[in-house]
Structure 1
Amino acid sequence: MTVGATETAEMPGVLTEIPQVKETARYITSNYSEFEGFPSPLTNGGLNEHGVAARDVWSNSREELWDMTPTDQSGPSYSDLSRIAMERATTARDAVDILGKLINEHGYTTYGGNSHIFADENEGWVFVEFSGGEGLWAAERLSADDIRVSYPGYIQDFPVDAIKGSNPDYVGSPNLLDVAAKQGWWTPGGDTINLQKVYGQEFPTGPFNVGVDADPTDPSPYRNPISLEAELESMDALSLQDMMRLVRDPRWSDDRSGYGQVAELRDDITDSALRTLWVATTASVTAPYIPVMIGTDDVPVEYSQHRYLTAGASANYLSPEYAEQEATEYATQTFKRLMYATCARPKDYLAEVTDAFEGMETSWIRQHEEVIADAQKLYTDGDSKGGAQVLTSLTHETALDGLALGGYLLDDILARSAADGGIHRPDVDVPDGTTASARSLSMELDGATSRDRMNCDLGGGWADGSTADRQGKYGDPANVPDFSANAAKTAANMNGAALLPLWIALSGVAGLGLGAGGLWLLTRRRSA
Structure 2
Amino acid sequence: MIRLIPHLLILLAAINIADASASYGYYVGKNLTADGSVLLGGTGEEPSSHWLEIVPRQSHARGATITVGATEFASLPARLIEIPQVRETFRYITMNYTSYAGFPAPLTNGGLNEHQVAIRDIWSPSRPELVAMTPPGQTGPNYSDLARIALERATNAREAVAIIGALIDQHGYTTYGGNSHLIADQNEGWVVLEFAGGEGLWVAERLGPDDVRVSYPGYIGDVPGDYRDHDDWMGSPNLISFAVEQGWYAPDSDQPFNVDEVYGLGGIMRHPGTKYVSPQMLEEELRALAPVTVKEMMGLVRDPRIADDHAGYGQVAHLRSDLPHPDLALLWIAPTGSVTAPFLPWWIGTRDVPAEYGQHRYLTEGSGPDFINPDFQLREATEFAGRVFKRLMYFTCAFPEEQLDRVQTTLTAFEDTIRAGLPPVERATALAYAAGEPDTARAMLTRESHARAAEALAIGRDLVAGIGTEVRLRHGIPSAPAAGNINDGGQAVSCLVGADPDRVPADRGRD
Relative to the length of structure 2, the TM-score reads: 0.84
Q: Does 1:181 align with 2:244?
A: yes
The equivalent of 1:85 in structure 2 is: 150
Report SS of the residue matched to 2:346: strand
Describe the superposition over 1:123-170 as per-residue Cα deviations: whole angstroms up to 9, x where unpaired. Answer: 1000000000000000000001100000110000001101xx311111
1:359 lines up with 2:359 in the alignment? no
* Separation (CA, whole Å) in 2 of partners of 1:135 and 1:391: 42
Q: State the match for 1:518 in structure 2.
A: none
Q: Which residue of 1 aligns with 2:487?
A: 444
**Alignment counterpart, residue 194 of structure 1, candidates 235, 258, 281:** 258
Is the CA contact 1:4–1:14 (under 8 Å) kept in the aligned structure 2?
yes
Spell out, residue by residue over 1:160-202, the C-alpha distance to the aligned partner (whole angstroms, 9 max, x if none): 101xx31111111011011100111111135841000000014
Paired letter, 2:236? S
The residue type paired with residue 457 of structure 1 is L
Q: Which residue of 2 aligns with 1:456?
A: 495
What secondary structure sits across from 1:141 in the alignment? strand
RMSD: 1.8
CA-CA distance at 1:329 after TM superposition: 0.5
Give 2:324's match in structure 1, choosing from 270, 273, 276.
270
- Aligned mates of 1:6, 1:171 — CA distance in 2: 29
How is 1:237-256 mapped onto 2 (pairs within 5 angstroms)? 237-256=291-310
Offset, 1:424: 2.7
Change (3 A) 1:100 1:459: farther
Q: Residue 128 of structure 2 aligns with which residue?
A: 63
Runs of 4+ in 1 over 3 A off after TM superposition: 202-208, 459-463, 471-474
Distance in 2 separating the partners of 1:466 and 1:368: 29
Cα distance in structure 2, aligned partners of 1:384 and 1:347: 48
Deviation at 1:466, TM superposition (A): 2.4
Question: Greater RCO between the two (CA within 8 Å, min separation 6)?
Answer: 1
Aligned to 1:526: none
Contact 1:279 1:292 in 2 (8 A): yes
CA distance in 2, matches of 1:236, 1:101: 35
Per-residue deviation, residues 437-476 of structure 1 (Å, max 9, x unmatched): xxxx6302253xxxx210101257899x426x724347xx
Alignment correspondent of 2:504: 466
**1:429, CA displacement in angstroms?**
4.2
Q: CA deviation at 1:350?
A: 0.4
Q: For residue 401 of structure 2, what is the amino acid of its counterpart?
A: K
Contact 2:216 2:269 in 1 (8 A): no
- Are the counterparts in 2 of residues 156 and 194 from structure 1 also a CA contact under 8 Å? yes
1:304 maps to which of 344, 348, 358: 358
Alignment of 1:154-169 (within 5 A): 154-162=219-227, 165-169=228-232
CA contact (8 A) 2:392 2:460 kept: yes
Q: 2:72 aligns with which of 7, 12, 16?
A: 7
Gaps of at least 5 residues in structure 2 are 1-65
- Report how far residue 235 of structure 1 moved: 2.1
- In the other structure, the counterpart of 2:429 is 375
- Cα drift, residue 314 of structure 1: 1.5
Letter in 2 for 1:470: D
How far residue 221 of structure 1 moved from its aligned partner, in angstroms, is: 2.5
Equivalent-residue separation in structure 1 for 2:408 and 2:363 (angstroms): 25
Give the CA deviation at 1:8: 0.3
8 Å contact kept, 1:204–1:220? no
The CA distance in 2 between the partners of 1:110 and 1:456, in whole Å, is 32
1:171 aligns with one of 201, 226, 234: 234
Q: Deviation string for 1:398-422 (max 9, x for gaps)?
A: 1111011011101111100111031
Q: Structure 2: which amino acid aligns with 1:156? A: G
Note the alpha carbon deviations across 1:192-238, whole angstroms, 9 max, x for none: 41000000014556746xxxxxxxxx96422x322321121222310
Q: Secondary structure at the match of 1:372?
A: helix
Equivalent-residue separation in structure 1 for 2:144 and 2:293 (angstroms): 29
TM-score of the superposed pair, with normalisation by structure 1: 0.82
Which consecutive residues of structure 1, in runs of 5 or more, have no partner in the other structure? 209-217, 431-440, 475-528
Tell me if structure 1 keeps the 8 A contact 2:275–2:305.
Answer: no
Instruction: Write the letter of the residue equivalent to 2:259.
Output: L
